[in-house]
Structure 1
Amino acid sequence: MSELDSDVAGILDEHRFRRALGNFATGVSVVTAETDGVPVGMTIQSFCSLSLDPPLVLICPGRASRSWPAIERSGVLSINVLAEGQDWLARQFARSGTDKYAGVSWRPAPYGGAPILAGSLAWIDAEVDSIVPGGDHLLVTCRVRAVGARNDLDPLVFFRSDFVRARSA
């Protein structure tokens, strides 16, 4: 019996659940907004495309997030898909109670003005469309208004609780 088979027979608990989900590699993004002239932001892993027609994406901020309420109030946001080497940005925007924008270059997005972080692999300028509770997170559907992407960088990838290199094909 393999280690995986023995885990399959295990009782579901938070540790096993986290360990199993940690085997799903994800990209890393920073969601940004500007509220009352102050830039705010947070790191997220739960982000995906939802629809091409109309153009929609889905983000899933934690309900306990201190940054999400300010982003929600703004109503418009940018999702910055981080590039390899931007793990410092992921860590910086994941911390509470600090100046998340210290040393960070950015420019306003064309539609809503939310910060687009310099060096991002891609950015999505969007507005909040709907919010639905989902356990300890929120399911936030966002209507996309503008996008930008680079093809000369590799993504920042999170796998098994660490940042890893993606292998370019």
Structure 2
Amino acid sequence: MTALPGLATPRLASPDLLRSVFRRHAAGVAVITAAQGEHPVGFTATSLNSVAAEPPLVSFGIGTASSSWPVVSQAEHIGVHILGEHQSELAATFARSGADRFAPPTTWRSGPEGVPVIDGVLAWLVCRVVARVPAGDHCIVIAQAVAGDPDGAGRPLVYHQGRFHTLGD
């Protein structure tokens, strides 16, 4: 590989290169939830995207080795929660392996379609899963919004350089 004028010598693509590049990409923070019977699962996601307005579609990635994957892989509906700057501890809890994510201080309720809905978020959606696309060690889930609430108060939580931030940071 040759260096481009004014740029450093490019590195060959690798998982480390991808992680290093995306540490520089600021992303909103969401928690994705699902339930199988009485057993809610959830995880922190920074890969949430708006896909289309008509029909209203979103997508997110989930690792197939994730503890939430067995439930998400079978769920007909999932919850999408946009976290506020006051929820960095909640984001950390849902990102931590082995954590009891739905135990106090997390407050939640069973929402539309039986999906766990977390209280106090900036906005949430319940979505019907329409596709699961294998993507390496992850799966891209595409889901259509069926209900939600955009009216939470506050400013968004952001993930950048491996840490949670507020817009004022």
1:18 Cα deviation after fit = 1.4
Task: Give RMSD over aligned pairs.
Answer: 2.0
Pick from 107, 110, 114 the counterpart of residue 108 of structure 1: 110
Structure 2, gaps ≥5 residues long: 1-5
Cα displacement (A) at 1:151 = 5.6
In the TM superposition, 1:59-138 aligns within 5 A as 59-103=60-104, 104-110=106-112, 112-138=113-139
Q: C-alpha separation between the residues in 2 aligned to 1:163 and 1:150?
A: 22
Distance 2:19 2:75 in 1: 32
Q: Which runs of 5+ in 1 are unaligned?
A: none
Residues 126 and 143, structure 1, Cα contact 8 Å, conserved in 2 = yes
> TM-score w.r.t. structure 2 length?
0.88
Q: Which amino acid aligns with 1:92?
A: T
Residues 42 and 68 in structure 1, CA contact (< 8 A), matched pair in contact too: no
The answer to whether the 8 Å contact 2:121/2:152 transfers is no
**Structure 2 CA distance, aligned partners of 1:113 and 1:122?**
18
CA distance in 2, matches of 1:25, 1:93: 19
Task: Confirm or deny: 8 A CA contact 1:30 1:93 kept in the other structure.
Answer: yes
Instruction: Name the % identity.
Output: 35
Taking structure 1 as the reference length, the TM-score comes to 0.88
Distance across 2 between alignment mates of 1:78 and 1:32: 5
Q: How many residues align?
A: 164
> For residue 159 of structure 1, what is the aligned residue in structure 2?
160
